[in-house]
């Protein structure tokens, strides 16, 4: 019975107690704390131990049985199924670790079997609304036949733009159908803006650290990037104004909500001030809204575009995190005076975004199915987010700095000075855990002790297991360093 004493059920939570209990036991099974053929405590004993009603335990055991995690033997009780695939700790050899590091430096991760992947902020495929999409694609094919496969107009499928106008209006953004441009993902949005605006040597201002895909898009246009440090509530605005005054940048690229990689959100005052500064110096702002929908505890996840009364924000919306990245679909809301430049840039990039996908997505939105999916995905991510916060507070050593975000999928950490993220990364890879080293997100790759953990593709039990292990690794590295330091400071006789 002892191992069940660690189960914590919270009667204040909105989630039913039997679901909490089911999840706790499931985690214990998947983490290998309960072994195949082990008997679960009898219902009455478990109920007494946890001070809950027997029905709660019965229902939890039923859910576990439905998932095949346990089975009943008549007259003997409930047993853990031995056929379960647990999170085995596969040893990884040195070569694999080195190759993984090389790949990471190029912005990729090769997923090993059972790897706990904190590195990529890509949602897991189990969250995708595949059946709903199958249905709308079939409907589009029956309805539009070959037309679904002709070139779509570069600006985007008109009915989709109409429905996106409503979508943006629900988020406080006033857009005209004419000013909405469909894009093949937010990355393309950044790229075509760079193409339309930037000449070799032009200045662009970004946050530091920032999204690697944007840094690369601006650099490939030969832009000179000025990076401005992020504070806990957004960019350092005094520095922003000075840099704008001195360099007259063409663009300012920012993520005001749940910034990637830091998770930082701008305060309402900073959002307002940025608008004022950019108005004063006539700088266009690119607002990359890749995630403002996933606001779990924030009171203000409003977009800059919603307070843009001068039409100076180029708003980019990605659907990759809340729907499916493989759709390659997003949209821009573009200030009127620059609309044509961007349309030309889009046309010369890929002529148009897939007509079939646009039509299917339009149907998906117009049927309202997306609301159900959004509620589901929000709940799933929130569960992961809460588990992450719990694990950070429980396991992460006190000399590792972090600022908890109020939503989104990314968590940002700063190691103590004497531990390098390179050492942490190597040690983590050896334990089959992937993290995103922070230097990837800085312009000069020179920040040695930050890292980002993303929860997008992890189940709660993987978060639990991964965070516990990572904390042990950090403590181990710290201990090694302390030992080394103490050796360096002692005088040893040379014998
Ligand atoms: C901040 C940010 N912008 C844009 C993108 C690219 O999104 P998409 O898949 O829509 O191209 C990403 C992807 O992770 C991102 O993190």
Where does 274-344 show beta strands of DSSP type E?
A: 284-289, 313-318, 330-333
Shortest-distance atom of ligand 1 to CA 259:
1
Q: Rounded CA gap, 421 and 331, in Å?
A: 36
Shortest-distance atom of ligand 1 to CA 189:
11
Mean local confidence (pLDDT), 478-493:
64
What radius of gyration, in Å, describes the C-alpha atoms of the chain?
25
| CATH for the 94-126+372-479 domain, from 3.40.190.100, 3.90.1150.10, 3.40.980.10, 3.40.640.10 | 3.90.1150.10
Provide the pLDDT for residue 90: 37
- Burial state string for 262-286 with b = 16 or more CB within 10 A and e = fewer than 16: bbbbbeeebbebbbebbeeeebbbb
Of 211, 291, 346, 361, which is best to mutate to test ligand 1, by the most ligand atoms within 8 angstroms of its C-beta? 211
Residues in the chain: 495
Q: Rounded CA gap, 8 and 271, in Å?
A: 40
Level-2 CATH architecture, domain 2-80 = Orthogonal Bundle (1.10)
Higher confidence at residue 72 or residue 234?
234
91 confidence band (pLDDT: 50, 70, 90)? very low
**413 C-alpha to ligand 1 centroid (Å):** 21
Cα angle value 174/179/184 (rounded, 5°): 110
Shortest-distance atom of ligand 1 to CA 211:
1
Shortest-distance atom of ligand 1 to CA 187:
11
Q: Could you read off the pLDDT of 155-174 as tens digits, one per residue?
A: 999 999 999 999 999 999 99
H or E element in which residue 104 lies: helix 94-105
Shortest-distance atom of ligand 1 to CA 188:
11
Asked if residue 140 has pLDDT above 70, the reply is yes
Of 107, 212, 260, 292, which is best to mutate to test ligand 1, by the most ligand atoms within 8 angstroms of its C-beta? 260
Provide the pLDDT for residue 465: 96
**318 C-alpha to ligand 1 centroid (Å):** 7
**143 C-alpha to ligand 1 centroid (Å):** 32
For 165, residues 6+ apart whose C-beta sits below 8 A from its C-beta are: 175, 176, 177, 180
- Among residues 213, 89, 35, the alpha carbon closest in space to that of 465 is found at 89
| Ligand 1, CB cutoff 6 Å, lining residues | 121, 185-187, 211, 213, 255, 260, 288, 290, 318, 320, 325, 330
Lowest mean pLDDT among 130-139, 407-416, 481-490: 481-490
Quick one: tokens of 119? 């590195």
Domain limits, the chain: 2-80, 94-126+372-479, 150-367
**108 C-alpha to ligand 1 centroid (Å):** 14
**12 C-alpha to ligand 1 centroid (Å):** 37
Of 230, 255, 290, which is best to mutate to test ligand 1, by the most ligand atoms within 8 angstroms of its C-beta? 290
**242 C-alpha to ligand 1 centroid (Å):** 29
Q: Rounded CA gap, 191 and 197, in Å?
A: 10
**187 C-alpha to ligand 1 centroid (Å):** 6
The percentage of the chain sitting over the pLDDT mark of 70, rounded to a whole number, equals 91
| pTM metric for this prediction | 0.79
Shortest-distance atom of ligand 1 to CA 318:
10
Provide the pLDDT for residue 444: 81
Asked if residue 446 has pLDDT above 90, the reply is no
Mean local confidence (pLDDT), 242-252:
98
Lowest mean pLDDT among 61-65, 199-203, 434-438: 61-65
Provide the pLDDT for residue 267: 96
**227 C-alpha to ligand 1 centroid (Å):** 19
Q: Look at domain 150-367 and name its CATH class.
A: alpha beta
Provide the pLDDT for residue 483: 62
Asked if residue 447 has pLDDT above 80, the reply is no
Mean local confidence (pLDDT), 207-226:
95
Q: Are strands 203-208 and 224-231 parallel, antiparallel or unpaired?
A: parallel
**212 C-alpha to ligand 1 centroid (Å):** 9
The set of long-range contacts for 424-430, using a CB threshold of 8 Å and a minimum separation of 24, is: 424/451, 424/470, 424/473, 424/474, 424/477, 425/101, 425/104, 425/451, 426/97, 426/101, 427/473, 427/476, 427/477, 428/469, 428/470, 428/473, 429/92, 429/96, 429/97, 429/100, 429/101, 430/91, 430/92, 430/97
Mean local confidence (pLDDT), 408-425:
94
Q: Rounded to the nearest 5°, which phi and psi values hold at 39?
A: -90, 135
Provide the pLDDT for residue 89: 37
**8 C-alpha to ligand 1 centroid (Å):** 37
Lowest mean pLDDT among 11-25, 135-149, 179-193: 11-25
Higher confidence at residue 82 or residue 343?
343
Q: Rounded CA gap, 90 and 112, in Å?
A: 9
Asked if residue 49 has pLDDT above 90, the reply is yes
Provide the pLDDT for residue 170: 93
Mean local confidence (pLDDT), 39-68:
92
Q: Could you read off the pLDDT of 295-336 as tens digits, one per residue?
A: 999 988 999 999 999 999 999 999 999 999 999 999 999 999
Q: Rounded CA gap, 206 and 291, in Å?
A: 18
Q: pLDDT averaged over the chain? A: 90
DSSP structural state of residue 177: G
Asked if residue 453 has pLDDT above 60, the reply is yes
Of 182, 186, 319, 408, which is best to mutate to test ligand 1, by the most ligand atoms within 8 angstroms of its C-beta? 186
Of 193, 213, 440, which is best to mutate to test ligand 1, by the most ligand atoms within 8 angstroms of its C-beta? 213
Quick one: tokens of 60? 């939890």
Q: Evaluate whether 265 touches 271 at the Cβ level (below 8 Å).
A: no
**321 C-alpha to ligand 1 centroid (Å):** 8
């Amino acid at each position: 019975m002892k191992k069940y004493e660690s189960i914590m059920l919270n009667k204040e939570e909105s989630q039913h107690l039997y679901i909490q209990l089911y999840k706790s036991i499931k985690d214990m099974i998947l983490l290998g704390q309960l072994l195949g053929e082990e008997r679960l405590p009898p219902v009455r004993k478990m109920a007494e131990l946890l001070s809950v009603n027997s029905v709660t335990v019965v229902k939890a055991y039923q859910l576990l049985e439905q998932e095949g995690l346990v089975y009943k033997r008549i007259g003997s009780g409930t047993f853990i199924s031995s056929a379960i695939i647990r999170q085995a700790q596969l040893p990884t050899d040195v070569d694999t670790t080195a190759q993984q590091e090389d790949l990471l430096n190029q912005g990729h991760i090769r997923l090993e079997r059972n790897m706990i992947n904190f590195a990529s902020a890509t949602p897991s495929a189990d969250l995708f609304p595949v059946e709903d999409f199958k249905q709308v694609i079939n409907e589009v094919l029956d309805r539009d036949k070959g037309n679904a496969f002709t070139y779509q107009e570069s600006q985007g499928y008109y009915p989709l733009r109409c429905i996106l106008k409503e979508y943006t209006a629900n988020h406080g953004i006033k857009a005209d159908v004419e000013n909405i441009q469909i894009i093949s993902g937010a990355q393309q949005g950044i790229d075509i803006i760079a193409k339309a605006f930037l000449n070799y040597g032009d200045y662009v201002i970004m946050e530091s650290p920032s999204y690697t895909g944007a840094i690369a898009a601006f650099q490939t246009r030969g832009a000179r990037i000025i990076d401005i440090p992020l504070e806990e509530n957004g960019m350092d605005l005094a520095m922003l104004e000075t840099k704008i005054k001195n360099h007259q940048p063409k663009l300012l690229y920012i993520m005001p909500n749940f910034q990637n990689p830091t998770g930082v959100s701008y305060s309402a005052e900073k959002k307002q001030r940025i608008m004022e500064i950019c108005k004063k110096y006539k700088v266009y702002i690119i607002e990359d809204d890749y995630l403002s929908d996933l606001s779990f505890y924030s009171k203000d996840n409003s977009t800059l575009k919603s307070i843009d009364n001068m039409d100076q924000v180029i708003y980019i919306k990605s659907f990759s995190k809340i729907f499916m990245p493989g759709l390659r679909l997003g949209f821009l809301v573009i200030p009127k005076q620059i609309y044509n430049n961007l349309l030309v840039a889009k046309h010369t990039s890929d002529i148009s975004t897939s007509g079939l996908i646009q039509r299917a997505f339009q149907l998906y939105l117009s049927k309202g199915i997306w609301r159900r999916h959004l509620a589901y995905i929000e709940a799933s991510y929130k569960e992961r987010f809460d588990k992450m916060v719990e694990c950070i507070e429980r396991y992460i050593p006190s000399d590792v700095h972090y600022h908890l975000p109020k939503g989104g999928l990314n968590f940002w950490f700063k190691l103590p000075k004497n531990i390098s993220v390179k050492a942490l990364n190597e040690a983590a890879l050896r334990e089959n855990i992937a993290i995103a080293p922070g230097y990837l997100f800085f312009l000069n790759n020179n920040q040695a002790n930050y890292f980002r953990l993303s929860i997008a593709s992890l189940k709660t039990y993987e978060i639990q297991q991964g965070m516990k292990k990572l904390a042990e690794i950090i403590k181990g590295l710290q201990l090694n360093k302390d030992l080394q330091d103490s050796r360096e400071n002692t005088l040893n006789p040379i014998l």
